[in-house]
Structure formats: C-alpha cells, structure tokens
Amino acid sequence: MKSTPAHLGGRTSGRARWIARRNAVFADPRFQHWAAKLPIIRRIARIRARGAFDILAGFTYSQVLRAFVDSNLFEVLSEGPVGHGDVAKAIDLSDHAALTLLRAGRALKLADEAGEDEWMLGEQGAILAANPGAQAMIRHQSLLYRDLADPLALLRRDRKEPTDLSRYWSYAGALHGAGQAGEDTGEYSQLMAASQHFVADQVLTSFRFPKRAKLLDVGGGHGAFLERIGTAYPDLELGLFDLPEVAEAGGERLREALGSHRVSVHPGDFFRAAIPEGYDIVSLVRILHDHDDEPAAELLANIRRSLAPGARLLIAEPMARVAGAEAMGEAFFGMYLWAMGSGRPRSPDEIASMAKAAGFAGTRAIPTLQPINASLVVATA
C-alpha cells in the first residue's frame, strides 16, 4: 500500500496525517480488490460509489426536475393515472421523449407508475406539486446553472463583474455598483416571499417567541416571514424594515392579513439608517449570508446599537458546517453566493464570533429540524 506522503510531518496536524493515510489506503487497488470480497465492506463501497455517481450526475437530475416544472408535468400527473401518450400531447413532446422523461422522473421519485402505462405523481413529485415556492426556486436555478457552465471561469472572475445571478438579484446589483438600491426589487421580493415559509417553519418549530413582544424583521421584503410568524403568535407586535418601495408593499400586505393595529413599517437602508428602537426581538432572515464580512459586521453593529440590554437578535438562514446539511451549506450556497457576487455561508461559530465582536453579550445556536432550509443563532444584547 502507498505510504503517507513524506511532506506530512513536523507541524502538520494529527488529523491531516490520518486523512492522508486513509486516502492512501482507499486509493490502493489492492485494498479495493480485498474490500470488494467482504460483504459489509462491499455494501459500504456500493454506497460510496453511488454517492460519487450522484455527484457526477447531479446536474442531470436537476435538469429532469426542471423539465417537470417548466412543462407543468406535475399538474398533468396530479390528475392521473395518465398514459404517456396523453402526457406527450399535454407537454408538447413526442411519445418517446415523454416516456423517457417519465422514466427519468420515476427514478427520482418525481413520477410513479401505478400499472402498465398508468403514470401518477411520485413521492417527491407530490410534495413539489403542492409547493409553488419550491417550484419558483427550481425555475430560478437556471440562472445559477448558466453561471456555473464554466466553474473555474466563474471562480477566477472579479466578483464585481456581473453574472446572470447578480443581474437578477437587484440587491446584489446595487452592492456591485450596477444600479441603485431599490431598482427592480419586485422580482427579488416575489421570489423571497414564495420561499420564505421554508425558513419561517424552522423558526416556528425551534424558537419560542414571548407573548406580547415586539418583533422587527430587518430586510423583511414583502412581509412573508412576519405574516407567518404573526399568524402563529397573534399577540406579537410586528415591525417591517426595508427599502421604502419594498417596505410600503410589505406593510400593506401585513395590514390586510393581520390588522393595521399590529403592524409598523419603517422604510430605510439598513446599512445607512438607524435601526428602529424599542423592539424585543430583531430578526435577520436570509440576510447576513448575502453580504461580505465587512458589511455584515456593520449590519450587526447597527442592529446592536438599537437594542436595549436583554433584547435579542434572531439570525435564521442556511449555514455552513451544520450536521446533516454540509453539502447545502458550502457546496451549494458557497457557489451560489460566489456567483451572486456577494456574501458567503458562515458556520454558527463564525456568526457567533461576529455577533460578539459587534457588542452582543452572548449567543447560542439553536438546531432546527430541517437545517437545509435554515439554522438559527440567537444573540443577546
């Protein structure tokens, strides 16, 4: 078997030496041949091989999913069982092409075949068909895929150079000097509102709001997060802080849904304007990871100045290095935010360090049921 690389020694960590030895063993053809003969090891090897192939084939899987969404195939199958010929007519494909797509979807549990040529929604398909927010996110990914067509070129570019993704996100465009903050924020807020319930659900199952408290959502967009939280906690007073034209629309939506007596609207730029005072809890929902370290630190400090001792900041977003969501945190969001040209995924420990540097007295990480949607860090003033 291969020996440990000679350069590993001296001040190299013990874990680095262990990883090098492990990799040398796994890469050795003699070990692979021996391991293939042992039932338990063979099963582990198959799982790892499948995982490696899923990495290779992941783009194809995602494009099958996109084809289901773009063609409205979920809607067609929801009325099933239906034959592949009828599917072909409904989504404008040849019979053979429709059958190929249905079979690909069956492998991914997007479709299922109840009997011979009786096609219906699969397990995953049923979930996605009932979730317009998830479908909006799937359609949105086409921007990222275009930027990732040449991943090394993307990584080598100046981050201020616009991409398809940064052109879409008006906030990111404003940060790059490609426009003024607030230009064309409609699409931004609509997509955020469509998917915001993913994060809100994790907050509701993992964090208990006190009765008759005051909650301010900074960068709250069209108010989707506040509406969901406010519905679950009818005694909460709610505040929305965002750019003027966004806050105005969000405030109108919240007043209609929850009553004007519960809602306060605060227009402003959270980097330049003072954060409104008098709130018991301030939330940052999928905001911090959109910004590079320096502006993120400025935002945390700005919020800290607004809080009385004992008030809390709730940070809810997908985070790096969280058990069960490692690939989402750094592989997906790492590349997504790089393409967006602003921000990066941070671990709960990194966020805690930034909060303490901003003047918060203490922090705690709160686990969630679905960390792929969001993890939580609470900082106390």
Q: What is the pLDDT of residue 173?
A: 42
CATH code of 197's domain = 3.40.50.150
Instruction: Identify whether residues 48 and 170 lie together within a single domain.
Output: no
Among 129, 153, 187, where does a domain finish?
A: 129
Residues 74 and 202 occupy one common structural domain: no
- Residue 145 belongs to a domain: no
CB atoms within 10 A of CB 360: 22
Is 310 a member of any domain?
Answer: yes
pLDDT tens-digit map of 197-219 = 889 999 999 999 998 899 999 99
95 and 172 fall within a common domain: no
228: containing domain? 164-380
Contact 369, 202 (CB under 8 A): yes
260 and 323 within one domain: yes
Is residue 15 a part of any domain in this protein?
A: no
Are 237 and 371 in the same domain?
yes
Picking from 106, 129, 152, the residue at the C-terminal end of a domain is 129
* Res 334: pLDDT: 97
Q: Is residue 1 part of a domain?
A: no
Instruction: Tell me, yes or no, whether 138 lies in a domain.
Output: no
> For 69-118, what is each residue's pLDDT tens digit?
999 999 999 998 999 999 999 999 999 999 999 999 999 999 999 999 99
pLDDT tens across 16-69, in order? 888 888 788 777 777 766 766 667 766 776 777 778 888 999 999 999 999 999
Task: Read off the pTM.
Answer: 0.84
The mean pLDDT value of the chain amounts to 89
Q: Are residues 242 and 347 in the same domain?
A: yes
pLDDT above 80 for 172: no
- What confidence score (pLDDT) does residue 167 get? 86
Whether 325 and 201 map to the same domain: the answer is yes
Token digits of residue 172: 């990111």
* pLDDT one-digit tens code per residue, 219-276: 998 899 999 999 999 999 999 999 998 899 999 999 999 999 999 999 999 999 999 9
Q: Kindly state the percentage of the chain with pLDDT values over 90.
A: 72
Residue 86 belongs to domain with CATH number: 1.10.10.10
Tally the domains of the chain.
2
Q: What is the largest CA-CA distance in the chain?
A: 73
pLDDT band at 169 (very low <50, low <70, confident <90, very high): confident
Assess if residue 71 is contained within a domain: yes
Does residue 198 share a domain with residue 120? Answer: no
Does residue 26 form part of some domain? Answer: no
Residue 323 lies in a domain: yes
In the prediction, which pLDDT does 181 show?
A: 42
Residue range 343-365, pLDDT digits in tens: 999 999 999 999 999 999 999 99
pLDDT-derived band at 175 (thresholds 50, 70, 90) equals very low
**Alpha-carbon distance values, 236 to 39, 140, 313, 329 (Å):** 58, 33, 16, 31
For range 300-318, the mean pLDDT:
98
> What SS3 class is residue 119?
strand
* Radius of gyration of the chain from its Cα atoms, rounded to whole angstroms: 24
In angstroms, the first-to-last Cα distance of the chain is 56
